[in-house]
Amino acid sequence: QVINSGDIRWSLPRVVWHLEDLRVGMSYPNYYISRLASKFVKVCLQGTGGDELYGGYPWRYYRVFDSLNQKEFFNNYYDFWQRLVTIEKRKKLFTRFAGKHMDFAEPKRVFERVFTFNSKLKYETPEQHINNSLYFEIKTFLPGLLLVGDKLSMANGLEERFPFLDNELVNFAQKIPIKHKLANLGKMKRLDENDLKKRKKFYTNYDDGKNVLRKAMMEFLPTEIIKRQKQGFSAPDESWYRDENADYVKELLLN
Instruction: Please give the full DSSP string across 167-199, using - where no structure is assigned.
Output: HHHHHHHTTS-GGGT-TTTT------TT-GGGG
pLDDT in tens, the chain (255 residues): 777 777 888 888 888 899 887 766 668 888 989 999 999 999 999 999 999 999 988 877 877 888 889 989 888 888 777 766 666 676 676 766 666 666 555 677 778 888 988 989 999 998 999 999 999 999 988 998 899 999 999 999 999 999 999 999 999 999 999 989 987 766 555 555 555 455 555 444 556 789 999 999 999 999 998 888 887 777 777 777 777 788 888 888 787
What is the Cβ-side half-sphere exposure of residue 42, based on CA atoms within 13 angstroms? Answer: 0
Domains of the chain by range and CATH? Answer: 5-254 (3.40.50)
* pLDDT number for residue 4: 76
DSSP 66: T
Full-model pTM: 0.80
Name which of 40, 150, 55 is nearest 64 in CA terms: 55
Q: How far apart are CA 37 and CA 157, in angstroms?
A: 10
